[in-house]
Structure 1
Amino acid sequence: MNTNAYKSLLNELDAGKKAVMVTIMNDKENERNASPEKIVITEEKLRVCHSIDNLDGIIYQKAQLALESGNIQFVKGQDTITHLMEPYFPEPRLIVLGGGHIAKPLVEFGARLGFLVTVIDDRPSFANEGRFPDAERVICESFERCFDLLSVNESAYVVIVTRGHRHDLDCLRQVLKYRTAYIGMIGSKRRVKSVKEQLLGEGYSQEQLNKVNAPIGLDIGAVTPDEIAISIIAQVIGYRRLTGAASGNASASKINWPELDRAVLEELGKGENDPKAVVTVISTKGSVPRKAGAKMLVWPCGRTLGSIGGGCSEGEIIHMARDILRDGGCRIHQIDMTGQIAEDEGMVCGGIMEVLIESCSEK
């Protein structure tokens, strides 16, 4: 069932790392009913190696492209072997240090944009779920000790908006120990300069301090807490979506952020022997309800987990998945949501999705 591959993938994502899962499908007559083989290639391995296991150079290059662009790659060989390369990016985490008047709208905007948000403040009246209902976690702890409770890694976007100079320093000293996707600190130019000079005197390098966006946010003339929060979250989005944003590169290129259905991956990583089919959106064209990478599980009884968009089209895929569970193997199917089909189903979509349906049960 490729359980180890899914466990390995989840371990990478939990560590804040990117990875590519390669699915190898064999159309040989005697292999059609077998479940596809899966290999997880870590970001580090792609960075330092020039070949991966038994995969040829073209597959290796396509795996690199998948990771760099965030787009699924699909290679059909001249023989009967087909490779699907799915990039996986960890969920972005927004860590807000300080629970004051700017943090409140910032947490709301971050959660609405798909970030898993954690808020930290040392005051119980500011660090509570009633004040931050949209946050995944609210921690009441000192800024010196809170980092032992956090998972700060390369998928973390850290925003320092504390109430004072001393707390800013405490937070920045801690954050600079980690590799993060983004660091931003609020404050006037004079206050920021003072903080950086003090840290330089403590032995922090100019290179480390250059990674800190301070004063924080895009320069849009923001005045109110809501406006300042918008300027901050807009800058964070730039770091998430654009390569080169971290270096201020004007020619930064856009990165696709693939869909991630964690509940589906966790179910696949359990190693349970009950038969189920995995449905994966592998390509899209036009307006569709889910992007490439979206997944759904289908059990023989018709029970499902996850979704590829709902509607009659999903119902058709569920029937096909149950057939594949009976016969084994995998199949690629096109879902047409254009024209009359979309109109009949009352959908605003008007695109086409290709989905891979594969059996997870051993035949």
Structure 2
Amino acid sequence: MNEDIYKKISETLSAGNSVVLCTVIASTGSAPRHAGTKMLIFENGERMGTVGGGEIEGLVINEAMTSLKTNKTKVLKYSMVDPLRGDPGTCGGTVEILVEPVKPSPRVIIIGGGHVGKALAQLAKYLGFKVAVSDDRVEFCNHEANPYADEFFAVPMKELPDVTDITSSTYLLLTTRGSETDIAGLGSLLKTPAAFIGVIGSRRRWETTRKGLLEQGVSVEDLDRVHSPLGLELNAETPEEIAVSIMAEVIMVRNNGTGISMKA
């Protein structure tokens, strides 16, 4: 069974998706499963294997879904003695379960291959991200123009979800030409489960883009997913400085950071 579990983890990561591995790491007394028992929880809530069924399993599944969002590993401890005090069972044993989110290497798709996009690709690559560049201008979307990218998608923004999988480990960074481009294509990206969607530009530009998308019927809830203006406030000016500002926000969101100075 464990061989099947590990094979499924590999398949899930290869597809660019995340999964949570739940492992019984200790049990005493009369417990439903012994140490080493494993269960997988997928992003859609489906599962493979079991850590005991019943109320305990329901609690573990809920914790697993939370861990996907927080990217934090935790150890759950349950005593199954007295339901009146909140124990999830009466068999008399105890169990400890390690809940561990397993995620593929993060991937950024930079939409807009100009000066900022090129600097962003270089920095993202250095930081360990898989890097893709998309631009409807073929001259900006090739290895000669952007040697740091691993993939290229020379298509209009609205067609991007049709040519590549955008998963919960994908970070979409729009370094585009202006609101007109964003209004034409951003709606399709908001239908994807991307971990992060950011749009470069001023507050006024985003207000214009937001208004145009609302007129198209895009919901406020979807628009609230967007990080714009994109990046942390560094008073950045050069493409390289702007890239640092953008990736700083991506790392902050990915690691649940605050962006606050650590100086006391």
| TM superposition score category, shorter chain reference | 0.7 to 0.9
Could you say what secondary structure the match of 1:194 adopts?
helix
Distance (whole Å) between structure 1 residues aligned to residue 52 and residue 183 of structure 2:
50
Distance (whole Å) between structure 1 residues aligned to residue 157 and residue 78 of structure 2:
53
Distance (whole Å) between structure 2 residues aligned to residue 21 and residue 112 of structure 1:
32
Q: Confirm or deny: 8 A CA contact 1:102 1:225 kept in the other structure.
A: yes
| Aligned residue in 2 for 1:42 | 42
Shift in alpha-carbon separation, 1:45–1:142, aligned structure 2, 3 A:
closer
| Aligned residue in 1 for 2:19 | 18
Distance (whole Å) between structure 2 residues aligned to residue 15 and residue 177 of structure 1:
17
Deviations for 1:250-280, whole angstroms, at most 9, x for unmatched residues? 9xxxxxxxxxxxxxxxxxxxxxxxxxxxxxx
Q: Percentage identity across aligned positions?
A: 33
**1:195-274 equivalent positions in 2, closer than 5 A:** 195-242=209-256
| Aligned residue in 1 for 2:52 | 54
Distance (whole Å) between structure 1 residues aligned to residue 71 and residue 169 of structure 2:
16
Distance (whole Å) between structure 2 residues aligned to residue 73 and residue 154 of structure 1:
24
2:52 partner amino acid: N
| Aligned residue in 1 for 2:157 | 143
Question: Are 2:197 and 1:183 aligned?
Answer: yes
User: TM (normalized to structure 1)?
Assistant: 0.55
Could you say what secondary structure the match of 1:151 adopts?
coil
Q: CA deviation at 1:191?
A: 2.1
Deviations for 1:170-192, whole angstroms, at most 9, x for unmatched residues? 23122111222111111222222
Deviations for 1:275-309, whole angstroms, at most 9, x for unmatched residues? xxxxxxxxxxxxxxxxxxxxxxxxxxxxxxxxxxx
User: TM (normalized to structure 2)?
Assistant: 0.73
Give the unaligned 5+ runs of structure 2. 29-34, 80-91
1:38 partner amino acid: K
| Aligned residue in 1 for 2:72 | 70
| Aligned residue in 2 for 1:300 | none
Distance (whole Å) between structure 1 residues aligned to residue 181 and residue 242 of structure 2:
20
Q: Confirm or deny: 8 A CA contact 1:121 1:142 kept in the other structure.
A: yes
| Aligned residue in 1 for 2:86 | none
Moved over 4 A (4+): 23-27, 55-63, 74-85
Distance (whole Å) between structure 1 residues aligned to residue 182 and residue 78 of structure 2:
53
Q: CA deviation at 1:197?
A: 0.8
Distance (whole Å) between structure 2 residues aligned to residue 191 and residue 25 of structure 1:
55
Shift in alpha-carbon separation, 1:223–1:42, aligned structure 2, 3 A:
same
Q: Confirm or deny: 8 A CA contact 1:217 1:231 kept in the other structure.
A: yes
Shift in alpha-carbon separation, 1:219–1:81, aligned structure 2, 3 A:
closer
1:115 partner amino acid: F
Shift in alpha-carbon separation, 1:75–1:239, aligned structure 2, 3 A:
same
Distance (whole Å) between structure 1 residues aligned to residue 114 and residue 184 of structure 2:
17
Could you say what secondary structure the match of 2:123 adopts?
helix
Q: CA deviation at 1:145?
A: 2.5
Could you say what secondary structure the match of 2:235 adopts?
coil
Distance (whole Å) between structure 1 residues aligned to residue 193 and residue 95 of structure 2:
39
Q: Confirm or deny: 8 A CA contact 1:121 1:141 kept in the other structure.
A: yes
Q: CA deviation at 1:4?
A: 2.1
Q: Confirm or deny: 8 A CA contact 1:72 1:84 kept in the other structure.
A: yes
Q: Confirm or deny: 8 A CA contact 1:20 1:87 kept in the other structure.
A: yes
Question: Are 2:8 and 1:5 aligned?
Answer: no
Distance (whole Å) between structure 2 residues aligned to residue 22 and residue 114 of structure 1:
28
| Aligned residue in 2 for 1:351 | none
**1:46-195 equivalent positions in 2, closer than 5 A:** 53-54=51-52, 64=63, 67=67, 68=70, 70-71=72-73, 73=75, 84-195=98-209
Q: Confirm or deny: 8 A CA contact 1:22 1:41 kept in the other structure.
A: no
Root-mean-square deviation over aligned CA pairs = 3.6
Q: CA deviation at 1:75?
A: 7.0
Q: CA deviation at 1:120?
A: 0.7
Shift in alpha-carbon separation, 1:37–1:207, aligned structure 2, 3 A:
closer
Q: Confirm or deny: 8 A CA contact 1:62 1:73 kept in the other structure.
A: no
Could you say what secondary structure the match of 1:144 adopts?
helix
Q: Confirm or deny: 8 A CA contact 2:158 2:189 kept in the other structure.
A: no
